[in-house]
Amino acid sequence: GAGVSQSPSNKVTEKGKDVELRCDPISGHTALYWYRQSLGQGLEFLIYFQGNSAPDKSGLPSDRFSAERTGGSVSTLTIQRTQQEDSAVYLCASSLGGPRTDTQYFGPGTRLTVL
């Protein structure tokens, strides 16, 4: 079946502009995660959605970052007033249940470059 998809695959933007990154999780997966990965670094947790529960936003680095998940499926990560340090690959993952029980399946990522 279809895996996690993300769009766009690449995004180049100018400093100060807003960007929206999209994630389509695997159908039926209740949990959705956003991470970012800077060049040569590990994954930095950003936010986690589980069903209808309030999202875990503890990883968002600043209030310029926000995410929503509509209808329990598609998610959008929004970065306002982008800065050069926001340049990274943004990865989305989904799992059938929560992280305590289930494997996360990752999308291919969106490479964001802020000029």
Q: Which residues bind another protein (CB under 8 A)?
A: 33, 35, 41-45, 48, 58, 91, 93, 98-101, 103-109
What is the token pair recorded at 55? 């999202």
Rounded to a whole number of angstroms, the minimum distance from the CB of residue 66 to another protein is 19
Nearer to another protein, 7 or 106 (CB): 106
Rounded to a whole number of angstroms, the minimum distance from the CB of residue 112 to another protein is 16
Rounded to a whole number of angstroms, the minimum distance from the CB of residue 104 to another protein is 7
Nearer to another protein, 47 or 79 (CB): 47
Query: What residues contact residue 20 under an 8 Å CB cut-off, 6+ apart?
Result: 76, 77, 78
Cα dist from 73 to 69, 80, 94, 101, whole Å:
6, 22, 10, 20
Tell me which residue of 45, 113, 49, 47 sits closest to 83, measured CA to CA. Answer: 113
Nearer to another protein, 87 or 110 (CB): 110
Rounded to a whole number of angstroms, the minimum distance from the CB of residue 50 to another protein is 11
What is the token pair recorded at 98? 């929560």
Query: What residues contact residue 103 under an 8 Å CB cut-off, 6+ apart?
Result: 95
Nearer to another protein, 78 or 103 (CB): 103
